[in-house]
Structure 1
Amino acid sequence: MTAETAQRWASTLDSVVVYAQGAVCRRRARVGVPPDGRVRVTGLPRSLDADSLRARALHRPGVRVTEARVEVEAEPLDAGTPHAARSEFERLRDACAAARGRRDRQLRLIEEISALHPVPPPRRREDPHRRTPADAWLELADFVDERLTGLHARLVELEEELRGLEHELGIAADRLARASSDAPSAHVQTTVCAVLTLDVTGAGDVQGEPELELELEYGVPGAVWVPAYRLTHRQGDGTGRLVLRASVAQRTGADWSGVRIGLATADLRRRTDLPRLRSIRIGRRQPDPAPSGWREPPPGLAGLFTGYDAAGPRPAAAAGAVAAGALPVRAGAADDFASGPVPPPPPPPAPQAYGGGPAAFPAPGGTAGPPAETFGGGLPAPAQPVQARPAGRPRTAGRAFAAPAAPAPAAPGRGAPPPSPGAPAAPGQAAPSPAATVAPPAGPPQPSGTELDYAALVLSGPDDQGSRRGRLFPDTPFDPVAADHRRRAEAVSALALPDHAVRPRESAGSFDHRFDAAARADIPSDGTWHTITVAEIPVGLRTEYLCVPSVEQTVHATLVISNATDQALLAGPVEITVDDDFLVTAALPTLAPGGVRRVGLGPAEGIRVTRRTHLLESTAGLRNNTTVLDHRVHVELANRLARPVTVEVRERVPVTSDPDVRIEERADWTAPEEGAGPEHHTPGTRVWRVDLPAGGTAALDGGYEIRIPAGKALVGGNRRS
């Protein structure tokens, strides 16, 4: 049984972990155990990363998944199942074009009627003067005026109809753009399947349990999230309820219905492999160890094609059939979008053979991998069994051999095979340019993960180039439809953030955190923000009132939040509700475990503050050689609230590093302790703490003296408040 005839089994999306960009999805499927162990699981999105597919059997020890492969199929849609949003958009577009055509015809008719005017016949020199038929001129003017009145009235109706259709067309276009991408295109339905190979030899008798549960894990782009909060607090209570929410947007091509949501701040595309530290030796140079899965190619490959070359050229018809059949048919090529025609795929790069220089193969994700070399000579160890490999051309069974030491001789009737890179030019031929000749790298080749994916290697046939035939090369066909899906999915990362929102990768800093939602959620694949509830976090709260009357005579209410949990709170918007009344939406800063931060609630209108200053300048000392600047500060507070409050009044005392300047304080204020509060204080800050009863008042008096030499003055003048 081949992959094309394997039995199909549906899958259900169970959980999703959304990272800073991208997501990891897990699907589950209950499948039967076929005799040959080949099953096909459907339901995967078109934008998935084929190299990230993993599969495993659940609750069945001894059952292993030895191979996982992604295959794409396309089939035409039935005429009776159109896309509702796209059909409405196309209908309104045609109606709008028809209305615009009627409006344009009306404008042309008005232009023709407006051009009607009397034209007198030409008059010869010998003809006498004729009287102008004024009545005919007036009748023509009345006709034109009456006709234009009717035409303009009809034009107003047509323009109003066109304006309404354009408005409806704009709404339909917006709905189509915001519609879920978990729907087939206009004419073609694409099905993405995972073809799995099961090994049930170690499971004993599987006939008693005809079904087993499989879990598929894969990564998809096009998913982002930002944190948000809702804080409920009651005055006088030292605790509060902080509900962590998340705004999630995804356009992965599959609707997330009833799935468990996890939120992580990590970068899904960062490297996870450990660095390899090589030793530094002093002595004779030792060759680098050969990478795993590669061995030295044996000689003698040219002799395999000697008889084929001696048989002469193939017939033109057969050659054309082979050339046409050699191109792999891309599944889902007709899966087009309304955004425009898909550009033709670029020609694949021509990798070089072993010994002829490196060739860069496109690595998964669109980045170029390390220099690729040809493999062969023996069967290497199998790759990871659950590593997914994109489907390509049929694999050729048998042992793959490497390049010979010398190129094969030209057969009679056939052109000479192209010289291998790095070989000397034949007599009578132009030598290749230095730019076109690539020197082979020193030491053994360093294959990338693409070349070590043995199931994706394709054995080149005898009709390929002389440096390729008989050797294994990675089969990485370019799929423009999949690239378009990924481009549309990754556009979600450019969405405008909500107010006060911060991307989790920026607010998390050097650490990564994960939050799991308590309940399942539904998030459609429409590329817009959807808010879900994640969890409830207990926090410590207390309300403080701050006032800096020297800057602004207003008392501000602040909420001091302390995080007593072992999980950090990321920066984001927080909706604060006090005594069941919504108060304000503020920006919550990043709160580490055990951290304390202050969130402003705005001015407290029920508390009044007044500040007055007085400056007295005098002289002192022997011969009046010292100028004394006596600053006095008077602050009055009035509490109009129905509850007692504690107000912190902040003043600032000047500081100096000049030994000739002395500052003497005369007040009962105190200097704040550094490190005791959630913020850093400016040098010279002084604090009053006043307890005001309901309806009570308080007066604060303070001051300081500045003593400077009589021949000096303060910058900006001595008399300042």
Structure 2
Amino acid sequence: MTTGAARRWGSTLDSVVVYAQGALCRRLARGTVPPDGRVRVTGLPRALDPGSLRARVLGSSGARVTGARVEVEARPRDAGAPDGLRDEVERLDEAYEAACARRDRQRALIAEVGGLRPVPPPRKREDPHRRAPVDAWLELADFVGERLTAHHARLAELDEAVLVAEHEREVAHDRLHRSSTDAPSAPVETAFCAVLTLTGAAADEAEGEVEVELEYGVPGAVWVPTYRLAHRRGDGGGRLVLRASVAQRTGEDWTGVRLALATADLRRRTDLPALRSMRIGRRQSEPAPSGWREPPAGLADLFTGYEAAGPAPTPFAAGAVAGGVPVPVAVPAPVPAPPPPPPAGPAEPGGAYGSAPGALGGGGPDVARAAAPRPGGRPRGGGAGFGGRPPQAPPAQAPMAPGAVAPAPPPPPVGPPQPSGAELDYAGLVLAGPEGSAARRGRLFPGSSADVVADEHRRRAEAVAGLPLPRHAVRPRTSAGSFDHRFDAAARADVPSDGTWHTVTVGEIPVVLHTEHLCVPSVEQTVYATLAVSNTTRQALLAGPVEVTVDDDFLLTAALPTLAPGGVRRLGLGPAEGVRVTRRTHLVESTAGLRNNVTVLDHRVHVELANRLAGPVTVEVHERVPVSSEPDVRIEERADWTEPEDGAAPEPHAPGTRVWRVELPAGGTAALDGGYEIRIPAGKALVDGNRRS
């Protein structure tokens, strides 16, 4: 049975996990398995990464997926399909060009009328002087003036029409650029489909239905966290709603999907690094790496039946089917394979035969991983030269000079073959299929770099990584640090594939809020209102913008820093005009000691607070005491302030910071007195003078 005759199953997108860059999609397909067990699942996006496809059977039907590969379908687009946006752009382009043409014609007409001038008839030498027709000249001037007035009025109307047409044209082009990439943009629609091979109990029963889950990765999806914080005055709690700004251009609209957001890097390799031993002393040869062995003898005999079957028939394009009639596609004549090489020995280091289980990319009995197709429909590794390079013809030899002696061929290498680092990277090896040359069949080779080159759709999808971030937004990979987090949305969401930011509500996070007023009167005699946010959950809160509403009134948009579980951070709410602070200082300089050999600098600080708000407030007043490392400088404090605990504080404090915490009732006042003495030797002085504020 040909590939085009496989039974077709439709699929629906069920869930999407958006990573720091890229997404992992899961589709569900259901249908009856044909007797041969081959089905074609449609609906996959054009930006799909073919090497990431995995398939498995859901439920306890007994069936399992034993083969999965990605193929490209190409079919003419339905002529009756609506394409209003693109048609509107073409119509507005034509209208703009017509408006410009009318304006240009009007300008040419104005130039033609403005060029009218009276031309007197030629005068012969013997003719007498004639009287100038002044009346005719004036009539011509009046005619030109009237016509130019009418033409300029018409030109103003045409200029306005051109501006309107240009604006409508730019708006339509912008809408088309921002429109979803789910719809095809060419007359021939191309799409990816998964060809699955199912075996098991359900595959043998014609009436049995099987549900299959497809998992694949796509580029072109990014997200950043945003928040909305609702708080009421006097309440110790609040509602912190986690939202996400998601942008995707994957080629398919996410409609009604279960959305999850992760901070991990989807493209990060997860294999363990190879740690090489370090030897001290006399140089020693490195031991042969475990897991590598030479190809087995008789490997070429496995493909004798394949060669005996003769050349393959002219294939049909898997997707070039219009109205159920397959369209043949021209295929170049097969190139005869070179004779099979001798078994790999000391002279052939390439074509390693790996024994690592990950080299084949298997995922278990009910999981199949697809191989990335090449442009001709071949699996990865088949038909390319060693290391992803096509086989090159031997270089042409220049004619030898007369009497010259041909150089001797290089001696064969001595010793066992030395595999390169790429051949020992078992996760990156690809098994060559029977379509390749005889020198590559059945062997593991490093994957070709051409297999991961992004096509037009993937390049368009990757453009979302360059979108400007919203204000105060931080990339999740940056704010998460060395940890990875995942947030599951509470409800299904819709995210079109238009490459613009869309806000999705993830869920509500319980937090503990406490309103505090903070002031540093030595720097600025202003009291600022702050909101201390405590993360009481077991999951970190990533950095991002937060919209703060107090008593259902929008206050401001602030930047929320990353909050670890149990962490506390302050959000500034701006100056509190209802709380006043005043600070006065006084310095007394004197001497002490047996012979007045000590200078005493007595600094006194007086702070007054006044609450003009309708409710009680907590004010935290910050002062700073000098800190010295000189042994002959003594600092004695005289105040009831306390030293803050950096472990419990929302932010680390500078050395010498002292704190007053005052509870002010509504309309209440408070006076704070403090100070410190600095004792220095009489022959010394403080840097920048002894006076301090």
Q: What's the TM-score bracket when you normalise by the shorter of the two chains?
A: 0.7 to 0.9
1:274-328 alpha-carbon deviations (Å, 9 max, x no partner): 3345678997876556747944687999xxxxxxxxxxxxxxxxxxxx9xx9999
Matches within 5 A, 1:385-424: 386-392=368-374, 393=376, 420=394
Contact 1:297 1:375 in 2 (8 A): no
> Gapped runs of 5+ residues in structure 1?
302-321, 334-350, 357-370, 404-416, 434-438, 462-466
User: Which of 562, 566, 572 is equivalent to 1:594?
Assistant: 566
d(CA) in 1 for partners of 2:141, 2:525: 75
Indicate the larger mover: 72-81 or 521-530.
72-81
The one-letter amino acid of 2:62's match is G
Q: For residue 361 of structure 1, what is the aligned residue in structure 2?
A: none
Contact 1:55 1:386 in 2 (8 A): yes
d(CA) in 2 for partners of 1:480, 1:274: 22
Matches within 5 A, 1:57-76: 57-76=57-76
d(CA) in 2 for partners of 1:78, 1:152: 49
Q: Is 1:530 paired with 2:512? A: no
Q: CA deviation at 1:715?
A: 3.6
Q: For residue 240 of structure 1, what is the aligned residue in structure 2?
A: 238
Q: For residue 443 of structure 1, what is the aligned residue in structure 2?
A: 418
d(CA) in 1 for partners of 2:506, 2:360: 42
d(CA) in 2 for partners of 1:375, 1:432: 33
Q: For residue 696 of structure 1, what is the aligned residue in structure 2?
A: 668
Question: Structure 1 residues 561 and 611, CA, compared in 2 at 3 Å: closer, same or farther?
Answer: same
Matches within 5 A, 1:503-652: 503-620=475-592, 626-652=598-624
Report the secondary structure of 1:195's partner residue: strand
Question: Structure 1 residues 665 and 376, CA, compared in 2 at 3 Å: closer, same or farther?
Answer: closer
The TM-score, its normalising length taken from structure 2, stands at 0.81
Question: Structure 1 residues 219 and 142, CA, compared in 2 at 3 Å: closer, same or farther?
Answer: same
Q: CA deviation at 1:658?
A: 3.0
d(CA) in 2 for partners of 1:286, 1:682: 56
Q: Is 1:459 paired with 2:436? A: yes
The one-letter amino acid of 1:551's match is V
d(CA) in 2 for partners of 1:292, 1:179: 53
Q: CA deviation at 1:552?
A: 1.2
d(CA) in 2 for partners of 1:621, 1:328: 106
d(CA) in 1 for partners of 2:37, 2:453: 31
> Gapped runs of 5+ residues in structure 2?
303-310, 322-336, 343-347, 408-412
The one-letter amino acid of 2:228's match is R
Q: CA deviation at 1:191?
A: 2.8
Report the secondary structure of 2:514's partner residue: strand
d(CA) in 2 for partners of 1:485, 1:587: 35
d(CA) in 1 for partners of 2:618, 2:516: 7
Question: Structure 1 residues 11 and 476, CA, compared in 2 at 3 Å: closer, same or farther?
Answer: farther
Report the secondary structure of 1:458's partner residue: coil
d(CA) in 2 for partners of 1:155, 1:204: 75
Contact 2:634 2:680 in 1 (8 A): yes
Q: CA deviation at 1:516?
A: 0.8
Q: CA deviation at 1:152?
A: 0.6
Q: For residue 220 of structure 1, what is the aligned residue in structure 2?
A: 218
Q: For residue 229 of structure 1, what is the aligned residue in structure 2?
A: 227
Q: For residue 49 of structure 2, what is the aligned residue in structure 1?
A: 49
Contact 1:72 1:332 in 2 (8 A): no
1:527-571 alpha-carbon deviations (Å, 9 max, x no partner): 111111112222222221111111111111222222222111111
Contact 1:451 1:457 in 2 (8 A): no
Report the secondary structure of 1:389's partner residue: coil
The one-letter amino acid of 1:242's match is L
Contact 1:391 1:456 in 2 (8 A): no
Question: Structure 1 residues 418 and 24, CA, compared in 2 at 3 Å: closer, same or farther?
Answer: closer
The TM-score, its normalising length taken from structure 1, stands at 0.78
The one-letter amino acid of 2:107's match is L
Q: CA deviation at 1:641?
A: 1.5
Question: Structure 1 residues 452 and 617, CA, compared in 2 at 3 Å: closer, same or farther?
Answer: closer
d(CA) in 2 for partners of 1:285, 1:482: 38
d(CA) in 1 for partners of 2:81, 2:688: 80
Q: For residue 199 of structure 1, what is the aligned residue in structure 2?
A: 199
d(CA) in 1 for partners of 2:93, 2:640: 77
User: Which of 257, 262, 265 is equivalent to 1:264?
Assistant: 262
Report the secondary structure of 2:162's partner residue: helix
d(CA) in 1 for partners of 2:339, 2:496: 48
Q: For residue 249 of structure 1, what is the aligned residue in structure 2?
A: 247
Q: CA deviation at 1:78?
A: 3.3
Contact 1:353 1:468 in 2 (8 A): no
Q: CA deviation at 1:691?
A: 1.4
Q: For residue 136 of structure 2, what is the aligned residue in structure 1?
A: 136
d(CA) in 1 for partners of 2:93, 2:406: 57
Question: Structure 1 residues 257 and 143, CA, compared in 2 at 3 Å: closer, same or farther?
Answer: same
d(CA) in 2 for partners of 1:431, 1:96: 76
Question: Structure 1 residues 193 and 659, CA, compared in 2 at 3 Å: closer, same or farther?
Answer: same
Indicate the larger mover: 441-450 or 497-506.
441-450
Contact 1:21 1:222 in 2 (8 A): yes
RMSD of the TM alignment (CA)? 4.5
Q: For residue 324 of structure 2, what is the aligned residue in structure 1?
A: none
Question: Structure 1 residues 95 and 700, CA, compared in 2 at 3 Å: closer, same or farther?
Answer: same
Indicate the larger mover: 134-143 or 554-563.
134-143
How many residues align structurally? Answer: 641
Question: Structure 1 residues 129 and 659, CA, compared in 2 at 3 Å: closer, same or farther?
Answer: farther
1:686-711 alpha-carbon deviations (Å, 9 max, x no partner): 11111111111111122233344455
Q: For residue 307 of structure 2, what is the aligned residue in structure 1?
A: none
Contact 2:432 2:443 in 1 (8 A): no
Q: For residue 102 of structure 1, what is the aligned residue in structure 2?
A: 102
Indicate the larger mover: 232-241 or 273-282.
273-282
Contact 1:82 1:186 in 2 (8 A): no
Indicate the larger mover: 25-34 or 549-558.
549-558
1:592-619 alpha-carbon deviations (Å, 9 max, x no partner): 1122222222222221111222334445
Percent of aligned pairs with the same amino acid: 67
Q: For residue 89 of structure 2, what is the aligned residue in structure 1?
A: 89
1:488-517 alpha-carbon deviations (Å, 9 max, x no partner): 111111111111111100000001111111
Contact 1:83 1:186 in 2 (8 A): no
The one-letter amino acid of 1:232's match is A
Q: CA deviation at 1:590?
A: 0.7
d(CA) in 1 for partners of 2:487, 2:130: 98
Question: Structure 1 residues 8 and 699, CA, compared in 2 at 3 Å: closer, same or farther?
Answer: same
Q: CA deviation at 1:64?
A: 1.5
d(CA) in 2 for partners of 1:432, 1:542: 90
d(CA) in 2 for partners of 1:431, 1:255: 70
Report the secondary structure of 1:690's partner residue: strand
